[in-house]
Structure 1
Amino acid sequence: MYQLSGVTKRYRRGKDTVRALDGVDLIIEDGGRLVIQGPTGGGKSTLLQMLGGLDRPSEGRVLLDGTDLATLPEARLTRVRAEKIGFVFQGFNLVPTLTAQENVETALAPLGLRAAERRERAAEALVSVGLGERRGHVPGELSGGQQQRVAVARALVKRPAVLLADEPTGNLDESTRDEIMDLLEGLWEENGLTFVMVTHDTALARRAPRIATIRQGRVTIKERVVG
């Protein structure tokens, strides 16, 4: 479970100080699903980075299962990210010279697994996203939707408790967008993940049971009944 209390993030912009987050209090239960929305520059990605331990708050606490990500030494924080948190980004972030299989295996490198186990788990992850027959292809030989599926497999291959997605369909057409969202929602349900996604797409946001809207660094929560 995530528990955020008083999370503030300040940046220097020239002579000015900008508050990307301003005293955010937020609880995300295990297995919960939350969409983050708001205007450009409103703090959406900053909040996701706090949840993923990719940035630290200027003030406040970011607890994941009772561990404060804001104060962990960098080595321990890296380990938490490697073991507990999977990331999916808008730009796929695949290594262009590696095959789909090899790209997925890179997520397992920090865990110290044997090569045979890395290969087996990566192959299984690619099957789970419908790309078992394309594991030998490099990103340039795959469509945008297929590349994002590889990115999803890479995020899930380490069997994380949390999946964080930053505009995961932003580079995709409408049909492929819906395919990727169906995939992510299915994997969320099957694996009991805590799933948090940033999106500007209102149609996708309406599919979530809980929406956090950020404006000027402040968060408001709306609960929805999803039928």
Structure 2
Amino acid sequence: MYELRGVTKQYRRGKETVDALRGIDLTVADGGRLVIQGPTGGGKSTLLQMLGGLDRPTAGSVVLDGVDLATLTEARLTRVRSDKIGIIFQSFNLIPTLTAQENVETALVPLGLKVAERRERAAEALKSVGLGERLSHLPSEMSGGQQQRTAIARALVKNPKVLLADEPTGNLDESTRDEIMDVLEGLWREHGLMFIMVTHDSALARQAPRVATLRKGLISVAEKAVA
């Protein structure tokens, strides 16, 4: 479970202080699904970075399973990210010189697994997202949807508890967007993941049972019926 209390994030912009997040309180239960929406600059990506342990709040606590990510040493925070959190980005963030299988394997390197186990788990993760025939393909040899599926496999190969997605369909056409969301929702249900997604796409938000709206660093959360 995530429990955020009073999470504030301030940045310096020249002589000005920018309040990206202002006293955010938020709880997400194990296995829960949350969509985060809001205008550009409202704090969505900043909040996702806090949840993923990629940045630290100026004030407040970000507690995952009883551990405050905001107070951990960098070494312990890296371990929590490696063990519990998978992250998917809009730009895929694949290494262009590595194959699909090698890209997925990179998520397992911090866990200290043997090479053979890494390869086997990477291959199984790619098969689970429909890319069993693309293990040896480079990113340049795959479509945008296939690249995003590879990024999903990389996020899930370590069997995380939490899956965070920052505009995962933002660079995809409508048809491919629907395919990727079907994959993500299927994996969420199958693995009981906590799934938190930032999106500008109102059609995707309407499908979510719970939607958080961020405006000017302030949050409101609404429970919704799944369409």
TM-score interval, normalised by the smaller of the two chains: over 0.9
Alignment of 1:90-169 (within 5 A): 90-169=90-169
**Distance in 1 separating the partners of 2:23 and 2:95:** 37
Q: What's the offset of the Cα at 1:14?
A: 1.2
Residue deviations 1:10-49 (CA, integer Å, cap 9, x gap): 0011111110000000000000000000000000000000
Residue deviations 1:36-84 (CA, integer Å, cap 9, x gap): 0000000000000000000000000000000000000000000000010
5+ unaligned residues in a row in structure 1: which ranges? none
**Matched residue type, 1:2:** Y
4+ long deviations beyond 6 Å: none
Q: What's the offset of the Cα at 1:161?
A: 0.2
**Matched residue type, 1:8:** T
What TM-score, normalized by structure 1, do the two folds share? Answer: 0.99
Q: Which residue of 1 aligns with 2:66?
A: 66
> Percentage identity across aligned positions?
77
Residue deviations 1:118-143 (CA, integer Å, cap 9, x gap): 01100000000000011110000000
5+ unaligned residues in a row in structure 2: which ranges? none
How many residues were matched structurally?
Answer: 227
Q: What's the offset of the Cα at 1:182?
A: 0.6
**Distance in 1 separating the partners of 2:215 and 2:171:** 24
Alignment of 1:199-218 (within 5 A): 199-218=199-218
Alignment of 1:72-91 (within 5 A): 72-91=72-91
**Distance in 2 separating the partners of 1:24 and 1:170:** 25
What TM-score, normalized by structure 2, do the two folds share? Answer: 0.99
Q: Which residue of 1 aligns with 2:49?
A: 49
RMSD: 0.5
